[in-house]
């Protein structure tokens, strides 16, 4: 079938009846539940946008000739990379980059895993074939995916096999002729239950080697697979209107604990099974992390544009853009934006073919960007909070403005330099929802840990960086200064 529409996305969720729990209850119809219905509508809009902007969002499948999503594209040139990124940007702009797990994130991953599949063959040749086939299946059916890749935080000072209850984490129970049985808990599935399928990634690094083999898994199954449950955290969509909660009422993706109760996975859906060596190398050797980082950088540029727009609008609304410290804070956001754009340009224009013939962005640029943004995004939010100051607390609701007695009072009393009270408060409620609401706080936490603990990521970045050339440069400089021939 070709790329799906928003209506088809919603109908699939209704028919699947995924096993989702929230607020102590099982969800009967996720498309109508208050915690999920609004973000589902936002997701549906992404799929409708594929047909509204067909030239930019769709391309012809190389196998079926049908129109499929551009975000599944295997790029064969720099121009293809840019085309795919432009489609990703179109999706990101609908939410101001607030939907961190829009479908393109995992679409890029399954493409990379499917095309660079030889790693999986080290354990079993059919696993490589499975990865390739799953990419084609996901592309041709426009499968929406959630994913999970980390173990529960039981005792972080011990390996999984050393835990008091070593069977809490998702693990291999049994290999059968027709597939495998897995059991245990995984964290943390964003958009868990409001997608078609779940992709279980290899947990990033398994230091214990063969002792971690039972936990070394990668597979994909439908979200309504028997024994699979999504236990969602409290929703940050509080059922408020879009005026009061302009972001949380539309883009609250949700995060879920995933429980596997002796779940059966057929062999043709398995990519890694009980092999910690393959598990540890999957992200890098398939270039999945490269193509995922390309999507993330594209999304974060849009997010930074959105933050800058809010900050500039707040400055203008209350006439503070003339002050030195205010301009300097605006400059911080602008420099962040231009730095991110530079990383993107370098990543795309220094791209090279990998062994599968896929045009792959320069990972050095992407790696720098993905290590830097978690450190800088909290500061961007802080700038908006500083600029808004007490105005972010003086934000009556739309109902207050509609009240006959107090409406006229606050409409006059909360006016800005160029805005009436109603318009100024609407803007400031957006700034509040971006930074101070439960939704805004989750955005900061989400970006900070997007690829993992930024301190550990920074240590890895430091260890892998080519440091010798710079030390040699200084060593040679000092030798010349002392009159020693180099």
DSSP string for residues in 265-327: EEGGGEEEES-HHHHHHHHHHTTHHHHHHHHHHHHHHHHHHHHHHHHHHHHHHHT-TTSHHHH
- CATH code for the domain of 205: 2.40.110.10
Specify the pTM.
0.95
The residue with greater pLDDT, 160 or 258, is 258
What is the model's pLDDT at position 486?
57
Question: Which pair of tokens denotes residue 100?
Answer: 């961190």
What is the model's pLDDT at position 206?
60
Q: Contact, 228 vs 291, CB < 8 A?
A: no
User: Is 476 part of any domain?
Assistant: no
- CATH code for the domain of 433: 1.20.140.10
* % of the chain exceeding 90 in pLDDT: 89
User: Is 298 part of any domain?
Assistant: yes
Q: How many domains does the chain have?
A: 2
Instruction: Say what angle helices 6-16 and 37-52 make with each other, to 10 degrees.
Output: 140
Q: Are 271 and 326 part of one and the same domain? A: no
Please write the tens of the pLDDT for every residue from 330-342: 999 999 999 999 9
Q: Contact, 112 vs 101, CB < 8 A?
A: no
Annotated binding site for substrate: 101-105, 147, 203-204
Please write the tens of the pLDDT for every residue from 416-436: 999 999 999 999 999 999 999
Q: Are 78 and 117 part of one and the same domain? A: yes
pLDDT beyond 70 at 484 = no
User: Is 62 part of any domain?
Assistant: yes
What is the model's pLDDT at position 446?
95
Q: Are 263 and 385 part of one and the same domain? A: no
Tell me which residue range forms the domain holding 409.
Answer: 287-471
Annotated binding site: 101-105, 147-149, 153-156, 190, 203-204, 453-456
Annotated binding site for FAD: 147-149, 153-156, 190, 453-456
Model confidence band, residue 163 (pLDDT cutoffs 50, 70, 90):
confident
């Amino acid at each position: 079938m070709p790329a799906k529409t928003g209506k088809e996305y919603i109908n699939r969720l209704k028919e699947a009846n995924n096993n989702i729990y929230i607020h102590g209850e099982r969800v009967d119809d996720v498309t109508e539940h208050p915690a999920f219905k609004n973000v589902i509508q936002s997701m549906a809009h992404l799929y409708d946008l594929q047909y509204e902007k067909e030239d930019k969002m769709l391309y012809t499948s190389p196998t079926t000739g049908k129109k499929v999503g551009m975000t599944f594209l295997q790029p064969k040139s720099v121009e293809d990379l840019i085309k795919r990124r432009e489609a990703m940007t179109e999706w990101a702009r609908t939410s101001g980059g607030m939907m961190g797990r829009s479908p393109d994130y995992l679409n890029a991953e399954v493409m990379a895993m499917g095309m660079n599949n030889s790693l999986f063959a080290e354990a079993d040749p059919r696993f490589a074939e499975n990865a390739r086939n799953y990419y084609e299946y996901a592309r041709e059916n426009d499968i929406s995916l959630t994913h999970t890749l980390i173990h529960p935080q039981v005792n972080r000072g011990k390996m999984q096999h050393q835990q008091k209850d070593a069977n809490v984490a998702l693990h291999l129970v049994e290999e059968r002729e027709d597939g495998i049985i897995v059991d245990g808990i995984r964290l943390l599935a964003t958009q868990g239950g409001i997608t078609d399928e779940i992709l279980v990634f290899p947990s990033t690094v398994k230091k214990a080697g063969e002792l971690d083999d039972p936990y070394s898994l990668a597979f994909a199954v439908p979200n309504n697979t028997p024994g699979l449950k999504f236990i969602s955290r409290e929703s940050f969509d509080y059922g408020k209107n879009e005026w009061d909660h302009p972001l949380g009422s539309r883009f609250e993706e949700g995060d879920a604990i995933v429980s596997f109760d002796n779940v059966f996975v057929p062999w043709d859906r398995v990519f890694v099974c009980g092999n910690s060596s393959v598990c540890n190398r999957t992200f890098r050797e398939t270039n999945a992390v490269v193509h995922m980082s390309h999507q993330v950088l594209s999304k974060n540029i849009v997010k930074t544009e959105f933050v800058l727009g809010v900050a500039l609008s707040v400055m203008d609304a209350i006439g503070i853009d003339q002050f030195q410290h205010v301009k300097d804070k605006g400059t911080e956001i602008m420099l962040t934006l231009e730095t991110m754009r530079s990383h993107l340009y370098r990543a795309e224009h220094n791209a090279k073919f990998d062994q599968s013939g896929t045009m792959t962005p320069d990972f050095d640029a992407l790696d720098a960007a993905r290590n830097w943004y978690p450190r800088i995004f909290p500061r961007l939010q802080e700038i908006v909070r500083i600029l808004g100051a007490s105005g972010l607390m003086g934000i009556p609701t739309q109902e207050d403005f509609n009240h006959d007695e107090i409406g006229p009072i606050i409409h006059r009393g909360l006016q800005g330099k160029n805005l009436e009270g109603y318009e100024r408060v609407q803007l400031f409620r957006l700034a509040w929802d971006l930074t101070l609401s439960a939704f805004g706080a989750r955005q900061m936490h989400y970006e900070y840990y997007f690829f993992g603990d930024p301190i550990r990521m920074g240590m890895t970045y430091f260890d892998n960086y080519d440091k010798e050339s710079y030390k040699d440069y200084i060593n040679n400089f000092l030798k010349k200064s002392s009159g020693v021939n180099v």
